[in-house]
Amino acid sequence: MTSAETPRSETVRVTEVLRNEIIDGDRAPGEKLVERNLATELGVSRVPVREALKKLASEGLVTNRPNTWSTVREFSPSDIADLNEVRTVFDVLSFELAAQRHTRQGLARLEATMLKGRELSDAGDVVGAHRCAAEFHAIVVELSGNELLAEIGTLLDSRMRWQLSQHDDLDVVATEHAELFDAIARRDQELAGALAARHLGTSQEQHDKKSKRLAQAGHSADGSPADPSAAPQESDPTD
């Protein structure tokens, strides 16, 4: 590996680590992301951390504030509503096209992912089940055979992975994914689209339930402390 490649590989690694920690809930919404602290924690210089935070901001997971630290994004009800409006079109079209255009090999990949998701759900592996659910949706987009749809999917990927990670009822997700798989396997476009719309509705219901539960526990809808003074404090990055 050349010296020019090393910073890039470090940036990719740091980006992946932070992305997973945010989506998996290891870093809470509103949590400060101080370059110096993260560099020490991850054993890198501040340059790959800075680049990683820029990338995650472009993906919608981080809020960058000029001349101060970044924070884990706090998704507002308006943010969620905007995402759901886009997914209402994106998900339905993806599943309909996947039902029409899937290949035998692609269908086999989708089935394996669906079955793995059920296994992880039954085992109570929350993080694993959430990641598998995201993979299921990503494969469906691939099976759609639409390159522009795939480009849009890349833009939405991190936000959708975050939203899927908000599901608490793993059994419901696994069951609905099995139904969606069956519709795709039968090449039933109409049913696949209808089930995709219902699946998104389930996602919204689960998010609403979680929001109410968090509100009762003194947290905002995305899991951040309702009282800003309750958030963990970190040192000023200029120290």
CATH of the domain at 64: 1.10.10.10
Which residue from 159, 137, 141 is spatially nearest to 56, judged by alpha carbons? 159
- Residue 150's domain spans which residues? 77-216
Same domain, yes or no: 91 and 29: no
Residues 174 and 132: their CA atoms lie apart, in Å, by 10
Does residue 229 form part of some domain?
no
pTM summary value:
0.83
Q: Identify the residue with better confidence: 6 or 212.
A: 212
**Cα angle, residue 96 at apex, residues 91 and 99 outer, rounded to 5°:** 125
Is the pLDDT at 166 greater than 60? The verdict is yes
* % the chain with pLDDT above 90: 76
Q: Are strands 32-33 and 70-72 parallel, antiparallel or unpaired?
A: antiparallel
Closest CA to 125 of 7, 8, 21, 24: 24
**If we measure between CA atoms, which residue out of 220, 239, 238, 166 comes closest to residue 31?**
220
Look at residue 228 and tell me if it is in a domain.
Answer: no
| Domain count along the chain | 2
* Over residues 2-12, mean pLDDT: 69
- Give the pLDDT confidence score for residue 41 in this predicted structure: 97
Same domain, 68 and 104: no
**pLDDT per residue over 100-127, tens digit each?**
999 999 999 999 999 999 999 999 999 9
